[in-house]
A and B are shown apart, each in its own frame.
Chain A
Amino acid sequence: MTRLRALQILVVCLLVVFWYVMTAPGLIPPFYFDKANRAAFFFGEPQKVFWVIVDWFATGEIFGHLAITLLETALGFLIGAAVGLVIGLWLALSPTASAVMDPYIKGFNSMPRVVLAPIFAVWFGLGIWSKVALGVTLVFFVVFFNVYQGVREVSPNLIANARMLGASRRQLLRSIYLPSAMSWVFASLHNAVGLAFVGAVVGEYLGSSRGVGYLILQAEGTFDINTVFAGILVLTAFALALDAAVGAVERRLMTWQPRASETEKV
């Protein structure tokens, strides 16, 4: 375990050293670019990227942007998941509605929905809502398909048993269909949160006045490649933290699900 960690850290160190050696002006003679500082212009320099990040956190400048991106991600996820859950339940339990809507769902799902971003910017302005809207369209389908599948896959035995125990239609929905659908939603939770995050960042990148995507956009406008890399690194770290948080929530809520191996080591 610790050996593995050590090797993982070694890989990062090697990468950073490689990055530094290849980009530090004048350290090695230029072999691809014709000027010594060109490599640094295109790829940035690790120590400068590091100082940009330190500066962001030291001055506290980054926190406002992170908070905005987080808010957009959270709203995109929650709204997308709620709409996906309701429509998924509805279509799964009503064969006629599902037959009518089928081609539209398929069509809308095949459309590369990122192209909607400019339209959302026109509709909802450059504030957070255009980013939330993009996140919603991305999250909706993941949740929708999982709920739909989850309801369809409920064992007929389980439904028969609940009916014999006296469950009404509403009680069936609450105690059988919903929990079953939720287990499928949770299986795709990482995916859905990741997509909400993508929606937020892409939306910011295409036009905004705040958020981490906006920082990257701005730096790019002034060819400040170090800041661009710094933004990307912060976003990556943030995405990892988000994923870990989702994992923790998932473990708490899904205790009833069997895991591969649960025996305790002696």
Chain B
Amino acid sequence: MSVGVPALALEKITCRFAARDGGEAYTAVADASLTVAKGEFVSVVGPTGCGKSTLLNIAAGLLAPSQGTVSVFGDRLIAENGVNRRAGYMFQADALMPWRTGLDNVIAGLEFRGVPRSEAVMQGEAWLRRVGLSGFGDRYPHQMSGGMRKRLALAQTLILSPDILLMDEPFSALDVQTRQLMENELLALWAEDKKSVLFITHDLEEAIALSDRVVVLSAGPATRPIGDFKVDLPRPRDVSEIRMTPGFLALHREIWAAMKEEVLKAYAAQKAA
């Protein structure tokens, strides 16, 4: 594995949310540490509501942790001073600007950086083609399907070519075929210029197929990593083919054994609440 400073390092992060009615604060994440090396593809899996999005928001500098530090390529990230400028973030929820057309959404980041419009439009068209949306650039988000909006958001993030990619269940709204296409596309991109990726999913198969490393989180409250599995399947991979290999199945069995208990715990807790 690569040595030197990691692209992203979360150290002993604790995150408490104050309760609205002055009751006891909710500890979403407790004492969690997580690093992503340069060029590494790390997936985080965990039961629903365990604090995956919270961790990602902290890594993005959108949320200040109650305790602990975040470093980006060795530099301390302070949320109060602004967001993580080296990272691109693909959100779990819809975050497109409804008053901009597809193309204008894709090139928003370039526009914020002062790239001339003609240049931005050229890049935007290219990206629309890459995510299979050429010809839909003049449609507004409400005129697109959920999956199309997801792909638009992907183009919006990737067009800026960030060093670190934070992705929060980006493909969960896509059908299986499109999803595998996008996953392969993401892998190709990642292989091209070795970005560092922190990828969140609740789909263990997806996590294994894409990643170098899979981190399993415990059920909430007070979530922390309880397992860290190296995936040394050969690259380049094809996500649909790799699922059939014995190496993949063995890993899946191993990680699922670690996860299962936490998933059941989370389910029981949410049912009781």
Structural contact, A171 and B142, CB atoms closer than 8 A = no
Is there a chain B Cβ closer than 8 Å to A158's Cβ? yes
| Minimum CB distance partner of B100 in chain A | A256
Q: In the complex, which residues 6-54 of chain A have their Cβ closer than 8 Å to any Cβ of chain B?
A: none
> In the bound complex, what is the Cα–Cα distance between A158 and B101 (angstroms)?
15
Is there a chain A Cβ closer than 8 Å to B85's Cβ? yes
> In the bound complex, what is the Cα–Cα distance between A256 and B104 (angstroms)?
12
Structural contact, B98 and A257, CB atoms closer than 8 A = yes
> In the bound complex, what is the Cα–Cα distance between A167 and B96 (angstroms)?
14
Structural contact, A164 and B97, CB atoms closer than 8 A = no
Structural contact, B91 and A157, CB atoms closer than 8 A = yes
Structural contact, B140 and A256, CB atoms closer than 8 A = yes
Contact surface of B with A, Cβ cutoff 8 Å? 57, 60, 62, 83-85, 87-89, 91, 93-101, 108-109, 111-113, 140, 142-143, 156-157, 160
Structural contact, A256 and B142, CB atoms closer than 8 A = yes
Residues in chain A near residue B95, CB distance under 8 A: 155, 157-158, 160-161
Interface of A is mostly: helix
> In the bound complex, what is the Cα–Cα distance between A173 and B88 (angstroms)?
21
Least distance between B21 CB and chain A CB atoms (Å): 21
> In the bound complex, what is the Cα–Cα distance between A171 and B94 (angstroms)?
20
Structural contact, B91 and A183, CB atoms closer than 8 A = no
> In the bound complex, what is the Cα–Cα distance between A166 and B93 (angstroms)?
19
Is there a chain B Cβ closer than 8 Å to A207's Cβ? no
Residues in chain B near residue A255, CB distance under 8 A: 140
Structural contact, A258 and B91, CB atoms closer than 8 A = no
If A165-B160, A256-B142 touch, whether A175 touches B97 (CB-CB below 8 Å) is yes
Residues in chain B near residue A171, CB distance under 8 A: 112
Residues in chain B near residue A168, CB distance under 8 A: 112
Is there a chain B Cβ closer than 8 Å to A62's Cβ? no
Is there a chain B Cβ closer than 8 Å to A232's Cβ? no
Structural contact, B109 and A165, CB atoms closer than 8 A = yes
12 contacts between A and B (CB under 8 A): A160-B57, A160-B60, A160-B95, A161-B96, A164-B88, A166-B85, A167-B108, A175-B111, A180-B99, A256-B100, A256-B101, A257-B98
> In the bound complex, what is the Cα–Cα distance between A179 and B99 (angstroms)?
7
> In the bound complex, what is the Cα–Cα distance between A242 and B83 (angstroms)?
47
Structural contact, A166 and B89, CB atoms closer than 8 A = no
Structural contact, B87 and A166, CB atoms closer than 8 A = no
Interface of B is mostly: loop
Residues in chain A near residue B60, CB distance under 8 A: 160, 164
> In the bound complex, what is the Cα–Cα distance between A255 and B93 (angstroms)?
23
Least distance between B117 CB and chain A CB atoms (Å): 14
Least distance between B248 CB and chain A CB atoms (Å): 33
Is there a chain B Cβ closer than 8 Å to A162's Cβ? yes
Structural contact, A258 and B142, CB atoms closer than 8 A = yes
| Minimum CB distance partner of B166 in chain A | A164
Least distance between B178 CB and chain A CB atoms (Å): 22
Structural contact, B62 and A160, CB atoms closer than 8 A = yes
Q: Mark interface residues in A235-258 (1 if CB within 8 Å of B CB, else 0).
A: 000000000000000000001111
Which residue of B57, B99, B101, B108 contacts A162 across the interface (Cβ within 8 Å)? B108
Contact surface of A with B, Cβ cutoff 8 Å? 155, 157-158, 160-168, 171, 175-176, 179-180, 183, 255-258
Residues in chain B near residue A162, CB distance under 8 A: 97, 108, 112
Structural contact, A165 and B142, CB atoms closer than 8 A = no
Structural contact, A164 and B142, CB atoms closer than 8 A = no
> In the bound complex, what is the Cα–Cα distance between A121 and B111 (angstroms)?
49
Which residue of A175, A180, A183, A256 contacts B108 across the interface (Cβ within 8 Å)? A175
> In the bound complex, what is the Cα–Cα distance between A208 and B108 (angstroms)?
51
Structural contact, A163 and B83, CB atoms closer than 8 A = yes
Residue of A163, A166, A257 with most partner-chain B CB within 10 A: A166
Structural contact, A164 and B112, CB atoms closer than 8 A = no
| Minimum CB distance partner of A179 in chain B | B99
If A165-B160, A255-B140 touch, whether A160 touches B91 (CB-CB below 8 Å) is yes
> In the bound complex, what is the Cα–Cα distance between A254 and B83 (angstroms)?
32
Residues in chain B near residue A164, CB distance under 8 A: 60, 62, 83-84, 87-89, 157
> In the bound complex, what is the Cα–Cα distance between A127 and B179 (angstroms)?
68
| Minimum CB distance partner of B93 in chain A | A157
If A163-B83, A165-B109 touch, whether A179 touches B93 (CB-CB below 8 Å) is no
Residues in chain B near residue A157, CB distance under 8 A: 91, 93-95
Residues in chain A near residue B87, CB distance under 8 A: 164
Least distance between B94 CB and chain A CB atoms (Å): 7
Residues in chain B near residue A180, CB distance under 8 A: 99
Residues in chain A near residue B113, CB distance under 8 A: 166
Residues in chain A near residue B91, CB distance under 8 A: 157, 160-161
Residues in chain A near residue B89, CB distance under 8 A: 160-161, 164
Structural contact, A257 and B160, CB atoms closer than 8 A = no
| Minimum CB distance partner of A182 in chain B | B99
If A161-B91, A257-B142 touch, whether A166 touches B112 (CB-CB below 8 Å) is yes
